[in-house]
Structure 1
């Protein structure tokens, strides 16, 4: 059976060792970077995305993949509340109720008009109307974040790879006194970096029903 291939046994003396084999099967193909088996191309972009009196949201590099990009955000604080919540985590894990959302707001606008924002709804998928207009969905997901009251690192993943032209990022954090600011990135370097990825395990088992999701396309 196909799934039996994911589990293997090696005989080590009288005691067999059972282990799980890595397979190229992201939980959400097209929206999650293949970081378990691919080294991304790195674009050394560093800039301030938005800044208030006590909080600054900055970009500290872009990781390019064949099917998307990961934005590495760094959040700086010059003061932290005491007592009170001291986490700089930018996104709430709860569904906002009645507009009461204290999260950082972030949006991306591609040169071809596609747009996605954290303010749309939980999970930030593309609205249904836009899915009809653009068959290749634009998605935004946040990855693992970590930090302390004065520094927090947070990754954001955009899929698919942006087309040539300006990539406009809009960032704000009203609850932390950070006004809205727009930043334009040139996607030429981002797309060039996507050609530099290194696939660590080219012979990984790929689920046949999802095969196309893991093929390395030409960024063009």
Structure 2
């Protein structure tokens, strides 16, 4: 045989495959419990940012955000650039000197002033530390596009997930969004932390453990 599989010893020397750490994404075997919010976070003539639902897990919560765009009077190239800037991993000019206007950013702020934002997030999963960070984290989970009836090349809909770890305190807190190129100045919306914490108690695993002796 010309091509042979690796030996058992070689296979054992390979580093284990690690998924995203628990602080970076929802638990893989947990369903989460939905909290309906139906919130409009921001709206301009060309862009609407909404938060239809929040899914609560035992370790955090997932903010299910929708970004809807329409071109209207925007030149085609400008509209395409606006669509591409929905994907923050494609924007490389984020630095300590300032934030680029095409960077769509989200953040949360708790009652004690603690903040967590998506600015400066790393998307290289292989280089993420497995140990949990000392402060709350808001991780942008790369999403995709969706179709709705009447869709055409003049509009688009993007679904993204914002994973907030750990679960928020059981009190109101703020969710902020800002996107200068999208025409969105800093917009703050209040979320109900108590409702999220309560919903987390209803989150169940996809495959519950069988009862003892079952």
Tell me the TM-score normalized by structure 1: 0.68
Report if the CA contact (8 A) 1:89-1:152 is conserved: no
Q: 2:205 aligns with which of 175, 199, 210?
A: 199
Q: Distance in 1 between matches of 2:159 and 2:84?
A: 9
Q: Which has the higher strand share?
A: 1
Secondary structure, counterpart of 1:192 in structure 2: helix
Q: 2:46 aligns with which of 41, 48, 54?
A: 54
Deviates most, 54-63 or 99-108: 99-108
Q: Distance in 1 between matches of 2:99 and 2:187?
A: 21
Shift of 1:89: 5.2
Report if the CA contact (8 A) 1:89-1:145 is conserved: no
Q: Distance in 2 between matches of 1:194 and 1:68?
A: 8
Secondary structure, counterpart of 2:199 in structure 1: helix
1:139-154 equivalent positions in 2, closer than 5 A: 139-147=137-145, 149-154=155-160
Aligned length: 170
Shift of 1:26: 4.6
Tell me the TM-score normalized by structure 2: 0.70
Matching residue of 1:158: 164
Report if the CA contact (8 A) 1:88-1:147 is conserved: no
Matching residue of 2:23: 30
Shift of 1:202: 4.7
Runs of 4+ in 1 over 4 A off after TM superposition: none
Matching residue of 1:104: 104
Unaligned runs of 5+ in 2: 1-7, 9-16, 124-132, 147-154, 210-214
Q: Distance in 2 between matches of 1:147 and 1:56?
A: 15
Cα deviations by residue, 1:141-160 (Å, 9 ceiling, x for unpaired): 11131117521111110100
